[in-house]
Structure 1
């Protein structure tokens, strides 16, 4: 076929370039990297891979190469006079910040929360009263005392319905490989045997207690004794009775789920059962099951039904559906007949998109005794709409402009604690009166030593290659002159229906702004900022739209006089790291420097890893002809060109990353160091005690932030305000 002939010629050209020109135009000072070409065939297409050997993490040669790369990177930072003062200042600001409370869960008379208390390395679990007064908070579990090195982290927790016990998943070194501990809230002591294999990226982990607190349903992965190909897949639901041997726990559901199932369990007070929300990998398809208190199971929705969230209330089952409504509508089913075809639409689709909720789409529907609260998103900022249980509108919560709400917790008196975040103010919880709908401040608010009183956030729009308008959140000091001289840092993500919403920018951004910089967050396609259509336009074979959106955003900022290409940098992580790799290989002239953390770069082999298998419903697979073409067309590793004048590049990864294999960073750095013709450095930092970022200690996080900004200041020629 014609496409096969053309693509074969294209692939052959890349393979030839790699074989003939690899020795030319190297990054000065980079450790030598042997080239050991391997050729793969995809149908009639041959693809060359010069650094396949770097995929073997346990190989002593790979460890030596990694150590040499990290040594070179540490030597680079050791010579920068701004780097140590940055670390010291950032750690000082973190230590001077007040405790930050989040992930609230209420039980009768009690309120549980995770909270940071710098300079302690890890968040802790605390219990408060329903008055939410942090002055009365008591520590239930402190990982910092369990492991003084700060490498033990809480993945998640769920208190029992009475609040007497709490189930906690904990993992080591940022691995997210969690085991379950049952803790007595009064004493802080463990009261049951540890249950292993309850949490792992990307499938995560979840738990829901029986109403009487005698046991719980939980997610579990195959034991380490099972075949390797099953490890980290085939998540299933089991039931554990407190005090029993976990080896005797009862299988409940999941043997028929997809290999890449991601399960979230949701139990609510007064509701007759537990909702199991099952994601089909990371592409946004969900099925929902009702587990009744007597053990009966009923499937309510299937993947093709396009229901993305479900919540069980005492008077019905509420569902967010995108069937014929890409921005979402709210359905309601009677408890005595859970036939989806009989669902009533009580909130139709509107101009805003209903957020599906948390990572598994189970957290957006908040129910009180007489009201429904729904989080809606409009291009990035969010709002909260209020409805009666019959769907009649009751207005919206009063929130700051350009804000986001990501938690709503119902208290004993029917009031709500609502987490509000903005770019320029530390996060806070507001209490919403159930009767009047009015909000008032609570003591659950963070304070910061940095202030943004001289800063403003403006929303502007770039125009992408196909005419799509892309929102930009531009953070700048008031009175900024648009003469093209300001250094600018552009951030983006664009994937998995994940929206980049307002978050407090903190000390590092304050440092950047004080140096005259501008910080910009682009709301790219692939996210959920405008609903499912916005997501699908940046997924699977449409992924190139995300990169076009980002490139158009960069060009817009230059054209409007915010910066110049020599003064502009880009930053992204994970899927945002893929974004970085795709954009600087397609447009090496756009940026002077790029920071890319825990990124994905070899799109032809990503699905061979456990996490990559979960990504197939988002990215596609090389086994599908059309999807292979799309993957190969933008795969960053395969589009590095010898002699191209790439920007200065800093990549960072963690050895325990279970979400993105560190081999992507190793191979991409090796290829870039051999190819770049700009004379600018390509640096790799590898941390043995970090993973994808979740669970990293405070010192690791501050160290990486100091690295990032010292690198950017050096490469863009910025004088640090700390010097």
Structure 2
């Protein structure tokens, strides 16, 4: 057995490791896990082990004669000066956050619409994050800003040290382009902050002992006044420690008027209670648990339903969007009458929505193809008008304006460079503004949409990007990607570096639209939760088998890739059906599902997977938990496991322990841990190859 990769492990683990590996995975207790020491994120031994693994992995990869060429090609695409600068539409112009080789942490900047439409936009810097990091000696990662409307002069900037979800919040003067002296400043934490007015915030954060849920998120909301220390903030709502988290609610329209304040209790990752504050006390809204208030448009309150609901003998189907007259709702939230905005058909799902000054804009999926519509409320009903954007593409909203009926859309597919389109509903002007530079030669590839049949007979769609002249003799190297969780949809997008480094070599790329995702609405997600989570893994395996059946590829030529929940997906696939694959890329993964609720933010995902502390639920989790399924006597596809030390969402121990266990089994693998970077690997010092969802 080759244990050379475990040289940094404490000597006392050797015997325990040998004993644990000799047991069946279903009986291996936590007490017999020889790699628990790797759960100590900043532990000296764990970090030494991670750094040693990094050196080995980089040594092998960088010695490959293709490495430098591929690295430089990918970097040139990612840092191209003429790539699209995505913008928001604000009162002071179009804003963008930009990173390149000279601005590694990034600059927050703005321009005008006229300048943006030109070949060489002139940008005004609002905040240089690189300069700020140097001045304050911190590894700042910019996580966005929330404005005080309607003026949008003051904002709250979220800055993470190293890319963690936990961030510091500081008040910034957008016009003066400087932090406000003695302004609001909340120290680092997983926190949610909402403006009420210029002197008042609603804040959910760590207020001290007993104020965080098991998942590590706040459940206490307080009102904080300007110049008031955190210790003097007034508690206005308290959820339950068993919740996932509680966050503030401020319903504000495009003119900046606040129509209601309150709190949202996230009971689980899919269920919530809404409470609004009234003069005579708080009121719990009579919405179903699987419903979300998603905004205001045309003087109406919008609610999205993830379950069927029948208030006042009117039935709204799962996945519907409904609305209330705002004035009626404010007068009596419990008796206001809802009306339908949109209800999906059998192969449809609401993909995105946003409001302009007077209108509502929806993007709707149909069989994983998307279109955009303008919705207008007039004379007691909503009417829909399609926006004539390019067909057979993925259309998503990238920006909308509060001051006018204007919007921007991102239009993309796997082979066509992404473009930005501008739409003015008042003048009906629709034009393409920007197109990302061509990253690879797509002339030799085509896109097919196929369906595989899963174990229970359900058809699972997937996209295949393949060479035009494919011979279907099982010889095409193919990379299969999936996610399948948290109602997140995998939609067509330009492949960029994947196209250059993978497709141009004559290879194929596949994206599987698995149950657990949101491609066909909430029901597609709910079909693969808890006791039925194995359905996601079955769907993925079915797509792999279909690729082999069609002779597009063969097990020797098939690799799999996924991150976070997708990392768990890949882990389940290669441990359940290792003979189907020859390689795997596993990014910031969940892996030890018997301990996931004790690691990072894992407890917030119990609604997705179940609770291993409950015997019945532990049994179905144990049946697929990849860490425990790594056993002697089997050969697994060689995985490349990537994690991040600063990932405070999915704990790096999942990836660390998977690699250590593979090493103990004498199995080949690569492991790389980004010492900074967080769950999205955005920290400046790290090098990588990759909501409260995983």
Q: Distance in 2 between matches of 1:91 and 1:230?
A: 40
Task: Tell me what 1:127 maps to.
Answer: 110
Q: Distance in 1 between matches of 2:110 and 2:147?
A: 10
Cα offset for 1:117? 4.3
Query: Residues 132 and 257 of structure 1: is their aligned pair in 2 closer, same or farther, counting only changes over 3 Å?
Result: farther
Query: Residues 82 and 518 of structure 1: is their aligned pair in 2 closer, same or farther, counting only changes over 3 Å?
Result: same
Q: Distance in 1 between matches of 2:75 and 2:102?
A: 8
Query: Residues 291 and 429 of structure 1: is their aligned pair in 2 closer, same or farther, counting only changes over 3 Å?
Result: farther
Which of 252, 269, 290 matches 2:254? 269
Cα offset for 1:616? 1.0
Task: Tell me what 1:683 maps to.
Answer: 670
Q: Identify unmatched segments of 5+ residues in structure 1.
A: 1-23, 358-363, 706-723
- 1:631 aligns to what SS in structure 2? helix
- Does 1:373 pair with 2:364? no
Which of 545, 565, 588 matches 2:535? 545
Which of 72, 82, 94 matches 1:111? 94
Cα offset for 1:446? 3.8
Residue 221 of structure 1 contacts residue 231 of structure 1 at CA under 8 Å; is this kept in 2?
A: no
Task: Tell me what 1:383 maps to.
Answer: 371
Query: Residues 553 and 644 of structure 1: is their aligned pair in 2 closer, same or farther, counting only changes over 3 Å?
Result: same
Task: Tell me what 2:522 maps to.
Answer: 532
Residue 153 of structure 1 contacts residue 171 of structure 1 at CA under 8 Å; is this kept in 2?
A: yes
Task: Tell me what 1:350 maps to.
Answer: 344
Partner deviation per Cα, 1:263-320 (whole Å, 9 max, x = no partner): 375533235435667362663223334468x998544355x44213331346231211
Q: Distance in 2 between matches of 1:690 and 1:236?
A: 28
Residue 97 of structure 1 contacts residue 446 of structure 1 at CA under 8 Å; is this kept in 2?
A: no
- Does 1:597 pair with 2:587? yes
Q: Distance in 1 between matches of 2:611 and 2:561?
A: 26
- 2:285 aligns to what SS in structure 1? strand
- Does 1:460 pair with 2:460? no
Task: Tell me what 1:412 maps to.
Answer: 403
Cα offset for 1:668? 1.2
Task: Tell me what 1:260 maps to.
Answer: 244
- 1:525 aligns to what SS in structure 2? coil
Residue 96 of structure 2 contacts residue 110 of structure 2 at CA under 8 Å; is this kept in 1?
A: yes
Residue 73 of structure 2 contacts residue 500 of structure 2 at CA under 8 Å; is this kept in 1?
A: no
Q: Distance in 1 between matches of 2:640 and 2:555?
A: 18
Partner deviation per Cα, 1:207-262 (whole Å, 9 max, x = no partner): 4434xx52353443114677888793224444444555555444443445754215
Which of 205, 209, 215 matches 1:221? 205
Query: Residues 533 and 349 of structure 1: is their aligned pair in 2 closer, same or farther, counting only changes over 3 Å?
Result: same
Q: Distance in 2 between matches of 1:277 and 1:223?
A: 16
Query: Residues 184 and 283 of structure 1: is their aligned pair in 2 closer, same or farther, counting only changes over 3 Å?
Result: closer
- Does 1:562 pair with 2:552? yes
Q: Distance in 2 between matches of 1:298 and 1:228?
A: 23
> For the aligned residues, what is the CA RMSD?
3.2
Cα offset for 1:594? 0.5
Residue 357 of structure 2 contacts residue 404 of structure 2 at CA under 8 Å; is this kept in 1?
A: no
Query: Residues 198 and 263 of structure 1: is their aligned pair in 2 closer, same or farther, counting only changes over 3 Å?
Result: farther
Task: Tell me what 1:66 maps to.
Answer: 50
- 1:96 aligns to what SS in structure 2? coil
Residue 153 of structure 1 contacts residue 174 of structure 1 at CA under 8 Å; is this kept in 2?
A: yes
Q: How does 1:208-607 map to 2 (within 5 A)?
A: 208-210=194-196, 214-223=198-207, 232-242=216-226, 245=229, 247-256=231-240, 259-261=243-245, 263=247, 265=249, 267-270=252-255, 271-274=257-260, 278=264, 280=266, 283-290=269-276, 298-302=283-287, 304-313=288-297, 315-324=299-308, 325-337=317-329, 338-340=332-334, 342-351=336-345, 353-355=348-350, 364-369=353-358, 371-389=359-377, 390-400=380-390, 401-435=392-426, 437-443=428-434, 445-607=435-597
Q: Distance in 1 between matches of 2:455 and 2:102?
A: 46
Task: Tell me what 1:57 maps to.
Answer: 41
Which of 160, 169, 172 matches 2:148? 160
Partner deviation per Cα, 1:126-185 (whole Å, 9 max, x = no partner): 233355727243221121222259942111211232122222100111212211122222
Cα offset for 1:410? 2.2
Deviates more, 1:241-250 or 1:577-586: 241-250
Q: Distance in 1 between matches of 2:138 and 2:349?
A: 38
Query: Residues 380 and 261 of structure 1: is their aligned pair in 2 closer, same or farther, counting only changes over 3 Å?
Result: farther
- Does 1:672 pair with 2:666? no
- 2:559 aligns to what SS in structure 1? strand
Task: Tell me what 1:20 maps to.
Answer: none
Query: Residues 219 and 163 of structure 1: is their aligned pair in 2 closer, same or farther, counting only changes over 3 Å?
Result: same
- Does 1:91 pair with 2:80? no
Which of 143, 146, 161 matches 2:129? 143
Q: Identify unmatched segments of 5+ residues in structure 2.
A: 21-25, 309-316
Residue 600 of structure 1 contacts residue 665 of structure 1 at CA under 8 Å; is this kept in 2?
A: yes
Q: Distance in 1 between matches of 2:277 and 2:681?
A: 30
Query: Residues 578 and 178 of structure 1: is their aligned pair in 2 closer, same or farther, counting only changes over 3 Å?
Result: same
Count of aligned positions:
656
Query: Residues 130 and 94 of structure 1: is their aligned pair in 2 closer, same or farther, counting only changes over 3 Å?
Result: closer
- 1:392 aligns to what SS in structure 2? strand
Query: Residues 555 and 74 of structure 1: is their aligned pair in 2 closer, same or farther, counting only changes over 3 Å?
Result: same
Q: Distance in 2 between matches of 1:450 and 1:150?
A: 37
Residue 365 of structure 2 contacts residue 519 of structure 2 at CA under 8 Å; is this kept in 1?
A: yes
Cα offset for 1:62? 2.6
Query: Residues 231 and 421 of structure 1: is their aligned pair in 2 closer, same or farther, counting only changes over 3 Å?
Result: same
Task: Tell me what 1:21 maps to.
Answer: none
- 1:375 aligns to what SS in structure 2? strand
Cα offset for 1:125? 1.9
Query: Residues 207 and 274 of structure 1: is their aligned pair in 2 closer, same or farther, counting only changes over 3 Å?
Result: farther
Residue 409 of structure 1 contacts residue 417 of structure 1 at CA under 8 Å; is this kept in 2?
A: yes
Cα offset for 1:652? 0.9
- Does 1:81 pair with 2:71? no
Task: Tell me what 1:719 maps to.
Answer: none
Residue 169 of structure 1 contacts residue 199 of structure 1 at CA under 8 Å; is this kept in 2?
A: no
Cα offset for 1:105? 4.8
Task: Tell me what 1:188 maps to.
Answer: 177
> TM-score, normalization: structure 2?
0.86
> TM-score, normalization: structure 1?
0.82
Q: Distance in 2 between matches of 1:579 and 1:60?
A: 31
Structure number with greater CO (CA < 8 Å, separation at least 6) is: 1
Query: Residues 600 and 80 of structure 1: is their aligned pair in 2 closer, same or farther, counting only changes over 3 Å?
Result: same
Q: Distance in 2 between matches of 1:295 and 1:166?
A: 31
Cα offset for 1:327? 2.7
Cα offset for 1:411? 4.8
Q: Distance in 1 between matches of 2:659 and 2:572?
A: 14
Q: Distance in 1 between matches of 2:534 and 2:215?
A: 32
Residue 355 of structure 2 contacts residue 402 of structure 2 at CA under 8 Å; is this kept in 1?
A: no
